[in-house]
Amino acid sequence: MTYKIGEILEGKVTGIQPYGAFVSLDEETQGLIHVSEIQSGFTKNIHDALQVGDSAKVQIIDIDEYTQKISLSRRTLEAKFVHTGHRKKRYFTNKNKRIGFRTIEEQLPIWIDEALDMLS
């Protein structure tokens, strides 16, 4: 194999799966761009970034010497982080309102009082 880690090549997308895109580097060699290496940020649907038949500039990030599998990346070639518009997660707790999780040490006296009220 004549390819080396770090090389930047032009390839052609030959197949797309939910886990990544296959790219033909030459007539005999193919590599895989894992979904996490398609672009910066979150990639919900690979078809939004790549289509079968597209030309893709890729960088070799790993070569498995035993299986000869080549891992490729488009993300490493980006000049800067590209925000994909994925929303921030929201959580139930709110530190300003003091609701949500409390330690057992804080809750135990409240539970004891409630239990004693129920027995009365």
Domain count, the chain: 1
pLDDT at 81: 66
Residue 56 belongs to some domain of the structure: yes
Residue 24 belongs to some domain of the structure: yes
Residue 87 belongs to some domain of the structure: no
Residue 16 belongs to some domain of the structure: yes
Whole-angstrom distance, CA of residue 56 vs CA of residue 66: 26
Neighbouring-strand partners of residue 60:
72
pLDDT at 7: 92
For the entire predicted model, the pTM comes to 0.65
Q: What's 16's domain CATH number?
A: 2.40.50.140
Residue 97 belongs to some domain of the structure: no
Above 90 in pLDDT, residue 113?
yes
pLDDT at 20: 93
What CA–CA distances, in Å, run from 101 to 26, 90, 96, 97?
Answer: 56, 15, 13, 12
Residues 92-110: pLDDT tens digits? Answer: 666 666 666 668 888 899 9
> Which residue range is the domain that position 53 belongs to?
8-77
Residue 84 belongs to some domain of the structure: no
Above 80 in pLDDT, residue 39?
yes
Residue 90 belongs to some domain of the structure: no
Residues 43-91: pLDDT tens digits? Answer: 888 988 899 999 999 999 999 988 889 999 999 888 876 665 666 766 6
